[in-house]
Amino acid sequence: MTIAPDKREALFEGVRVERGETLVLPALDLALTERRIGVIGANGSGKSTFARLLNGLILPSAGRVAVDGFDTKAETRQVRRRVGFLFQNPDNQIVYPTVGEDIAFGLRRHKLPKVEVRARVEAALHRFGLAGFEERLVHELSGGERQMVAFAGVMVLEPSWLVLDEPTTLLDLKNTARVMRTIAEIEQSVLLVTHDLDCLAGFDRVIVFEKGRILHDGTPRDAIAVYKAFHA
Ligand SMILES: Nc1ncnc2c1ncn2[C@@H]1O[C@H](COP(=O)(O)OP(=O)(O)OP(=O)(O)O)[C@@H](O)[C@H]1O
């Protein structure tokens, strides 16, 4: 399912997004090829909308978005298999009552053999600090624990791209570090929307949104400086 990192590309061509009466993104043209891309900007500047365009959760009103050659509008299913999405609120994506069942859910849908499902779930539990949580009821977990379950459920499907929309909001220092360490290690191409500027150290590219337009697009250092200066 995964393709070589240097072959990946997400293209935005003349993308315009209207939601109801609101023009959220007037015109976006860009290509994403870097492995670690951050997205920052003021509340309501269009970051989540941009992130959701990448896996077809939001479709452009005009223009086109293509991920690794697949059009998000015409080939949504292929795009969704390539692009994992982690929401700020894990309750948006957890569907099964127990941790183990929830992490296994996507794998079963892909019709993987039982032993492989088992092995992948075990590995994910371990990797995300959830060893021993398999039989635990999701609704009895803390918000941060649920977020780690949601993260494990996305990663277990081994997407090529991983989009994370403010994933660390609910997390304590340890789990924030775990998520950031995972992001640094994985071979997936990552798009991270965040208000936590410390998370962007080591990123290849950071895009700053302001009122639906790109205010700056460059290194983390420059992007953060521009963002801070703009809102000083
Ligand atoms: N369904 C909708 N109908 C009308 N306006 C919408 C809709 N969805 C989003 N918007 C508007 O689009 C703009 C961009 O929203 P978006 O969620 O992309 O911003 P954001 O940068 O992610 O904000 P935040 O940092 O607060 O999460 C906001 O002004 C929002 O109110």
| Within-domain flag for 90 | yes
**Mean pLDDT of all residues in 195-218:** 96
Cβ of 46 less than 6 Å from ligand 1: yes
Question: What tens digit of pLDDT does each residue of 151-190 get?
Answer: 999 999 999 999 999 998 888 998 899 889 889 989 999 9
The pLDDT confidence band at residue 2, using thresholds 50, 70 and 90, is low
| 1, pLDDT greater than 60 | no
Overall number of domains in the chain: 1
Q: Which residues does 63 contact at the CB level (< 8 Å), separation at least 6?
A: 12, 13, 14, 15, 16, 27, 28
Q: How would DSSP label each residue in 88-121?
A: SSGGGT--SSBHHHHHHHHHHHTT--HHHHHHHH
Cβ of 52 less than 6 Å from ligand 1: no
Q: What pLDDT score was predicted for residue 65?
A: 98
Rounded to whole angstroms, the Cα distance separating 163 from 177 reads 17
Cβ of 44 less than 6 Å from ligand 1: yes
| 4, pLDDT greater than 80 | no
| Within-domain flag for 200 | yes
Q: Which atom of ligand 1 is nearest to the CA of 21?
A: 4
Nearest residue (by CA) to ligand 1, atom 25, is 43
What is the complex's ipTM, to 2 decimals?
0.96
Q: What pLDDT score was predicted for residue 73?
A: 96
Q: What pLDDT score was predicted for residue 7?
A: 84
Bridge partners of 18, per DSSP, are 23
Distance 58 CA to ligand 1 centre (A): 12
Rounded to whole angstroms, the Cα distance separating 201 from 220 reads 7
Q: What pLDDT score was predicted for residue 93?
A: 80
Rounded to whole angstroms, the Cα distance separating 10 from 157 reads 20
Q: What pLDDT score was predicted for residue 95?
A: 83
**Mean pLDDT of all residues in 215-228:** 97
Q: What percent of the chain has pLDDT over 70?
A: 99
Residue 203 domain boundaries: 35-59+71-230
Question: Which tokens sit at 186?
Answer: 């994985």
Distance 173 CA to ligand 1 centre (A): 28
Q: What pLDDT score was predicted for residue 71?
A: 97
Rounded to whole angstroms, the Cα distance separating 1 from 15 reads 27
Question: What tens digit of pLDDT does each residue of 18-75 get?
Answer: 999 999 999 999 999 999 999 999 999 999 999 999 999 999 999 999 999 999 999 9
| Within-domain flag for 24 | no
Q: How would DSSP label each residue in 136-147?
A: SBGGGS-HHHHH
- Give the CATH number for residue 213: 3.40.50.300
| Within-domain flag for 18 | no
Question: What tens digit of pLDDT does each residue of 75-116 get?
Answer: 999 999 999 999 988 888 888 899 999 999 888 888 888 899
Whether this model's pTM surpasses 0.90: yes
| Within-domain flag for 142 | yes
CB 86 within 8 A of CB 139: no
Q: How far is CA 201 from CA 31, 63, 197, in A?
A: 21, 32, 8
| Within-domain flag for 224 | yes
| Within-domain flag for 3 | no
Nearest residue (by CA) to ligand 1, atom 3, is 19
Q: Which atom of ligand 1 is nearest to the CA of 52?
A: 18
| 132, pLDDT greater than 70 | yes
| Within-domain flag for 144 | yes
Q: What pLDDT score was predicted for residue 22?
A: 93
